[in-house]
């Protein structure tokens, strides 16, 4: 079962246009200093229209991007034709599209704009999944959204401390946390974001 795509089917063109206009260096500015060395294996989970995956590819990483919405994957592949990103169909919490060769493979996992679509049980499963694919000393960067629903309508509250504690059970320490940041998008005054970076021990 695909989790978290509810509502996006009504706004496909707008989501793609809005997403591909975003600047990775602005949206993920808190995460940039935690990126691994060039040529590292990086995973973008819930890659949407591909803008972050393409930016990571340009920075010299081996990027795998996983996205459940076919329309978004096709838009990403068409728009970022010059990239070397590996585009896959799938979603949290299980990432079943990955295989045994991907165990403890990734130095960095980006989960941007996804976590609020998962309920508590799915988050527990997702944390276990992420732990199984991240290398020792690898990092996982997660954005946490709170506020009224946007294009995606399956929403659950998020909390950076609770998320940090959840991942601690799976071998991660929180090495960065920023709370209650404003949205960079217009007309989103009631939407707040927190961001955390977790390191696998």
Q: How is the chain split into domains, by residue range?
A: 8-23+38-200
The predicted pLDDT at position 154 comes to 85
CB 151, CB 11: distance < 8 Å: yes
Write down the architecture of domain 8-23+38-200 according to CATH. Answer: 3-Layer(aba) Sandwich (3.40)
- In order along its 201 residues, the chain shows pLDDT tens digits of 576 778 788 889 999 999 999 999 999 999 999 999 999 999 999 999 999 999 999 999 999 999 999 999 999 999 999 999 999 999 999 999 998 888 889 999 999 999 999 999 999 999 999 999 999 999 999 999 998 887 777 889 999 999 999 999 999 999 999 999 999 888 788 899 999 999 999
Angle between helix axes 12-20 and 70-79 (nearest 10 degrees) is 40
How far is Cα 25 from Cα 2, in angstroms, rounded to an integer?
Answer: 29
pLDDT at 1: 56
């Amino acid at each position: 079962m695909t989790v978290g795509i509810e509502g996006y089917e009504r706004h496909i063109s707008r989501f793609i246009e809005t997403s591909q206009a975003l600047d990775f260096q602005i949206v993920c500015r808190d995460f940039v200093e935690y990126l691994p060395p060039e040529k590292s294996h990086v995973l973008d989970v819930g890659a949407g229209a591909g803008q972050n995956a393409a930016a990571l590819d340009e920075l010299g990483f081996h990027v795998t991007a996983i996205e459940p919405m076919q329309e978004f994957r096709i838009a990403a592949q068409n728009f970022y034709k010059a990239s070397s990103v590996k585009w896959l169909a799938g979603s949290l919490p299980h990432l079943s599209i990955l295989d045994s060769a991907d165990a403890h493979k990734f130095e960095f996992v980006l989960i941007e704009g996804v976590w609020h679509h998962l309920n508590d049980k799915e988050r527990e499963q997702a944390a276990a999944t992420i732990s199984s694919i991240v290398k020792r000393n690898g990092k996982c960067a997660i954005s946490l959204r709170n506020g009224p629903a946007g294009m995606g309508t399956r929403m659950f509250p998020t909390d950076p401390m609770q998320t940090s504690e959840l991942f601690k059970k799976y071998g991660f320490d929180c090495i960065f946390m920023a709370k209650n940041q404003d949205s960079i998008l217009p007309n989103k005054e009631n939407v707040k974001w927190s961001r955390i970076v977790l390191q696998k021990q």
